[in-house]
Amino acid sequence: MIYVPSRMGQLNRRALLRQLQKLGVASRAELAKSLGMSQPTAGKIVDELLVSGVLEELVLPDDNGAESVMRGRPGRKLRLNRSRSRLLAIQLGLQETAVAGLSLGISDEDQWHVSFSLDPDGDSPAKTWEGQLRTAARKIGGKDFLGVLLSVPGIVDETENRILFSPNLHWTEKTDLASIVRRVWNVPVLIVQEERALALGHHLAAPGSDDFLLVDFGEGVGGAIIMDGKPLANPLPISGEIGHTPVLGNQRRCGCGSVGCMETLVSLRGLLESFSAAQRGARNSWAGLQRHISQKGIPAWLAQSLDAAAVSIAGALNVLGLRRVVITGSLTELPSAVCAHLSQAIQNGSMWAKFGTVECVAAPRRRTAGLVAIGIEQLIVPDTNEISPKTPTTARRQTAAVKYNRS
């Protein structure tokens, strides 16, 4: 007979793990106090999670600065298990896919173990991608993974585990990516919208960041909203598509099928196209753009593009009632004057800035931290009442949880 914890037990486990994700290291007493939970209840949950390998006990560093892991002594500090990889993360990009085995301990920086390139316009991209995943699996080795978190761009129905629309990777719309990954690793697979993973990762890594709009600049431009410490929920699986706001006068065609989308100006490709045009057609690189800005300052074309992006971001702040923006991705790799210009332009368009302070910060991408958080909540301590048991995705999550508890 398989033990299934009560609804309250599930919620308590999730709350305790969320808190430990934020704190990094804590004792049983500290966890109980911060959660308003009785010490016996917290202790029982901790003991169960130690047995299942979700948590580990940490001995404080000795005189040489070394630390070790032990079990069974209630006065010791706790942390999420960093001793072995239990989740696999895959980041699907426009041309590059990155793969990494992840422990349950959250890292502040993304570290990918294997990466490979794929021509999205080539013949049979899905078949080619599967073959390259198999090669990546051999390099990573035979890990006892609990499940796979697949980070993807576009509009994603995470409940149904499928991509509805991907402006820059149309081949994924007609491909069952989860089935491909399961054929390679034979474990449950969760497809995650990439901006949501980035926002959750920042929320966990930056204490006090419970309300913000994250905007990521890269191959496209996307956003995600965290409100009251949780991703903004919508009736439809769409939010934060800020990059597809039209810019008047912009005649560039976007991968979504429209003309004039903001991301055609400030995505990696858009920035390099503008740079090349300003240099009279010369072929220019990202490093060349960085040098140009460092030596000559922000050119007029870039200032106009940043101003257009700021209009969209400020409009989102005004609608959502937020005052904090987190910028990640390629813009943070340019000289600091670029993000400073964007920040000032956002403040110029924000209503809150008229009588308060709008905070705009540049931050590293913390995608894997967000993926680990999702994996813990949906694979390790799933709330079985969130989705109907008839949903295939839920069944896979429950199976994963049982497998983990047996290990």
Domains within the chain, CATH numbers bracketed: 7-80 (1.10.10.10), 87-197+367-406 (3.30.420.40), 207-362 (3.30.420.40)
pLDDT score of 106: 74
pLDDT tens, the chain, 407 aa long: 334 457 788 888 888 998 888 888 999 999 999 999 999 999 999 999 998 889 999 866 544 555 555 544 545 799 998 888 889 999 999 999 999 999 988 777 888 999 999 888 888 999 999 999 999 999 987 678 999 999 999 999 999 999 999 999 999 999 999 999 999 999 999 999 999 999 999 998 887 788 999 999 999 999 999 999 889 888 888 888 999 999 999 999 999 999 999 999 999 999 999 999 998 866 679 999 999 999 999 999 999 999 999 999 999 999 999 999 999 999 999 999 999 999 999 999 999 999 999 999 999 999 999 999 999 989 988 876 654 333 444 434 444 443 444 34
Per DSSP, helices labelled H in 164-299 are 177-185, 194-205, 263-266, 268-278, 286-296
HSE at residue 102, side-chain half, CA atoms within 13 A, is 34
Tell me the DSSP string of 83-149.
Answer: SS--EEEEEE-SSEEEEEEE-SSPPSS---SEEEE--TTSSSHHHHHHHHHHHHHHHH-----SEEE
| Spatial separation of the C-alpha atoms in residues 101 and 148, rounded to whole Å | 9
CB 143 within 8 A of CB 101: yes
| Spatial separation of the C-alpha atoms in residues 385 and 363, rounded to whole Å | 35
For helices 194-205 and 367-375, what crossing angle results, to 10°? 90
Q: What is the DSSP letter of 172?
A: G
HSE at residue 361, side-chain half, CA atoms within 13 A, is 13
pLDDT score of 281: 66
Residue with structure tokens 């239990």? 86
Reported pTM: 0.86
| Spatial separation of the C-alpha atoms in residues 182 and 379, rounded to whole Å | 15
CB 35 within 8 A of CB 14: no
Q: What angle do CA 14, 24, 78 make, to 5 degrees?
A: 75
Q: Which of 169, 137, 176, 136 has the alpha carbon at shortest distance from 153?
A: 169
Q: Which amino acid is at 83?
A: S
| Spatial separation of the C-alpha atoms in residues 94 and 91, rounded to whole Å | 10
